[in-house]
Amino acid sequence: MIRIGLRLAVLLAAGLTLATIDGARAEDKAAGGKVALTIVNVEYEGTKVWVPSTIVAHKGDKVALKLVNNVPSDPSQHGFAIPDYKVAEIVDRGQPKTVEFTADHAGVFQIICQLHPAHVGGQLVVLP
């Protein structure tokens, strides 16, 4: 009986998650070309990386990224830059920042920390 109850709870939770994802997708379509994401800078076994490290948009989308620096070790500042889009922000630990731009040219563009070249980078993928 307990097992059946647990399975039901898991199925319900999965259903709710799917409903939430579908809702988010529907909202995105209704908004017409908007990408809104939270990107978090974390430290994993000594390596600093912005997560998710790949951002996908369609050409013409308005992109809004909330940048959160959660790296516990010093230094307390990290950069988030997409040089091909002339985006370059410095984000302090504990002080999220939002960057907005229009994905007006298609391609794959490097994301870097402009302050620390050793920092693991990511990529912005803009589909045509």
Minimum distance between the CB of residue 77 and Cu ion, rounded to whole angstroms?
A: 7
CA distance 36 to 101: 11
Q: In what order do the strands lie in the sheet with 122-127?
A: 54-58, 122-127, 107-111
Count CA atoms within 13 Å of residue 27 on its CB side.
Answer: 8
Considering only residues 60 through 119, tell me which ones interact with Cu ion, judged by CB under 5 A. 78, 113, 115-116, 119
- Tokens 């800078």 belong to residue: 41
Encoding tokens for residue 62? 């308005």
Count residues contacting Cu ion (CB under 5 A)?
A: 5
Minimum distance between the CB of residue 66 and Cu ion, rounded to whole angstroms?
A: 18
Nearer to Cu ion, 42 or 115 (CB): 115
**Residue 50 binds to Cu ion (criterion: CB under 5 A):** no
Minimum distance between the CB of residue 2 and Cu ion, rounded to whole angstroms?
A: 49
- Contact residues toward Cu ion (CB under 5 A) are 78, 113, 115-116, 119
